[in-house]
Amino acid sequence: MNTPTNDANAQGADRRGPKLSSLFRLQWEPAQDAHVLLYPEGMVKLNQSAAQILLRCDGTRDLPTLIAELEQTFNAKGLAPQVEAFVDHARSRGWLE
């Protein structure tokens, strides 16, 4: 169970929003026609959706803002479950701080 202090921290982290870990670099690779994540001696090729989410994980948007922005940009609704699932996946892979 969280203490009130932890809750406050969690809210603080939420306000900052998900942020790509400094161990990873996200860049466009023309030869692969895709964004990739680069890290020590490794590379992950991202599909378009994953890339569009990670491009916005710069710590300046909280998750609801990020989702709203994606829905607006791609003229879509109900993206929240997909985005949240991906962000969880990205966290478990250590891609996000």
DSSP string for residues in the chain: ---HHHHHHHHHHHHH--BB-TT-EEEEEGGGTEEEEEETTEEEEPPHHHHHHHHT-BSSS-HHHHHHHHHHHTT-S--HHHHHHHHHHHHHTT-B-
Which residues, 31 to 70, sit near another protein by CB under 8 A? 31-34, 36-50, 53
Stretch that binds another protein, among 3-11, 12-20, 55-63, 78-86 (CB under 8 A): 78-86
- CB-nearer residue toward another protein: 17 or 70: 70
Q: Least Å distance between CB 22 and another protein?
A: 8
Using CB under 8 A, list all residues that contact another protein.
22-23, 25, 27, 29-34, 36-50, 53, 81-83, 85-86, 89, 94
